Amino acid sequence: MMSMIGRKSAALVGVFISVTTVPAAGFVAVALVLGEQVKALESGIQLAINLAGIVLSAVAVLLVYRWIEKGPLLRLRRHPGGRTSA
């Protein structure tokens, strides 16, 4: 999301995502091969939490970006007759 908003290609965004997902996903595979179902499940839960965090932070960034671009949501507008409306 940051690379889209900044209109720049940033390799660091991909690195941050990889750092949060690859270890957990890799450990799921290793734990399953070793027959450690409980550890695989725990790592799978951690992976799901990490992915949810990535999605929630992306949504938050886009909402803040939209709010900044359009201005405050409840901005008062002046009508030609001097009246105000929300």
Q: Identify the pLDDT of residue 12.
A: 73
Q: Identify the pLDDT of residue 10.
A: 65
Single pTM value for the model:
0.65
Q: Is the pLDDT of residue 31 over 70?
A: yes
- What are the pLDDT digits (tens) for 46-65? 999 999 999 999 899 889 88
Q: Identify the pLDDT of residue 59.
A: 93
Task: List phi, psi (to 5°) of 77.
Answer: -115, 140
Q: Identify the pLDDT of residue 60.
A: 93
